[in-house]
Amino acid sequence: MLDARLLSELSTLFAEGDMATDADTLLRYGLDWTRYFTPHASAVVFPRRVEQVVALVRWAGREGVALVPSGGRTGLSGGAVAAAYEVVVSFDRLQAISDFDPVNRTVRCQAGVITRQLQQFAEQHGLYYPVDFASSGSSQIGGNISTNAGGIKVVRYGMTREWVAGLTVVTGSGEVLELNNGLAKNNTGYDLRHLFIGAEGTLGFIVDATIKLVRPPTELAVMVLAVPQLSGIMQIFNAFRGQLDLTAFEFFSEKALRHVLARGHVARPFDEAAEYYVLLEFEKLTEHTEGQALALFEQCAEQGWLVDGVLSQSGQQAAELWRLREDISESITPYTPYKNDIAITVSRVLGVCRTVGCPARA
């Protein structure tokens, strides 16, 4: 725990209201969404400028004070927990969006920009930021980059890493690095940007990022399919991916769905339960796309890979179907289950499920 001298020195780096030591704030910012660990933070600071982060890091280095970066704290791995009297560095007040470049399709975001704010900014300019997940309304860009967040569109758009054109970082020595400068082509040497993506703050603090945007997808449709056997999931994936431009493909179990339904916010998609469910999303690129999807449904049903299905008929229904998947993490959190977020090549997913047991969702 910081003594009175260190707390006094720390307070000189921040304006009144930009540092907190009260119990409620320490609890709120010392913990992430796991709710598993007991937080013990010494203070929480809210820098408003990169220069403040530099001064903080240099002071902490001189005094041997540990720092923990804090974004939206939506992670489920304990990465944002301050359990050993660290100083929490919240990026809540670094939320500027600037330097939009419609030619390069890039925009600059400070670390505290909420994911959904970036998505909405892109939409307002006729573009699209494709990294998406259930916590997009509270997660922050800096945290997304620090954890190389994936989300529900990975099958089409990849991880956060794919969308970072440049970074401004403050290293552990207090040095400011400008990495890649938003360039699409840069063969000048080491691309240190990729070392900081996914490093979870261990190499330094991400304070600013240049983010790539893309054309928005055309009208999206969502299908939820009832699958009787695990082996059918990959068959369905191959069938639909072969003919449709999928933007998402998720599967989850009846066990997971029961937790979601128990909250009473969404309805069961089918009259009868199935062992597994597939949720897939695709672009309606032509007037015939929906017909292709229905034909694929019939083909898969004839093979016995699925037994029922529903296709969204509106944006609202698509959002409701997505909740069957997106509400899983929050629904099972009160039960403190043992959770893993496993990365593996797509072709080996079912083999892992058979070996260790099918996950609640994948």
| Residue 361 covered by a domain | no
pLDDT (tens digit per residue) in 224-283: 999 999 999 999 999 999 999 899 999 999 999 999 999 989 999 999 999 999 999 999
The span from the CA of 274 to the CA of 276, in Å, is 5
Instruction: Tell me the residue range of the domain where 174 lies.
Output: 97-212
pLDDT (tens digit per residue) in 2-46: 999 999 999 999 999 999 999 999 999 998 877 778 899 999 999
Closest by CA position to 46, among listed 86, 9, 17: 17
pLDDT (tens digit per residue) in 334-346: 776 556 667 778 7
* Torsion sign over Cα 331, 158, 80, 48: negative
Q: What is the CATH number of the domain that holds 334?
A: 3.30.70.2190
pLDDT (tens digit per residue) in 254-271: 999 999 999 989 999 999
Same domain, 41 and 10: yes
Same domain, 225 and 343: yes
The span from the CA of 3 to the CA of 8, in Å, is 9
Domain end point (choices 48, 67, 90): 90
pTM, whole model, 2 decimals?
A: 0.89
Same domain, 101 and 77: no
Same domain, 225 and 341: yes
Domain end point (choices 75, 90, 105): 90
Query: Could you give the number of structural domains in the chain?
Result: 3
| Residue 362 covered by a domain | no
- 112 in helix, strand or coil? coil
What is residue 13's predicted lDDT score, i.e. its pLDDT? 96
Q: What is the CATH number of the domain that holds 76?
A: 3.30.43.10
Q: Which structure tokens are listed for 231? A: 């082996």
Same domain, 103 and 66: no
Domain end point (choices 34, 57, 90): 90
Same domain, 40 and 71: yes
Listed in sequence order, the DSSP H helices in the chain are 4-11, 23-29, 50-63, 115-124, 141-146, 154-157, 193-196, 231-243, 254-262, 289-302, 315-326, 328-332, 349-356
Mean pLDDT across 311-338: 87
> pLDDT category, 296, cuts 50, 70, 90?
very high
Same domain, 204 and 121: yes
Same domain, 200 and 314: no
Torsion region of 196: left, alpha or beta (phi above 0 gives left; psi -120 to 50 gives alpha): alpha
Sort 199 into a burial class: Cβ within 10 Å, 0-12 / 13-18 / 19+. Answer: middle
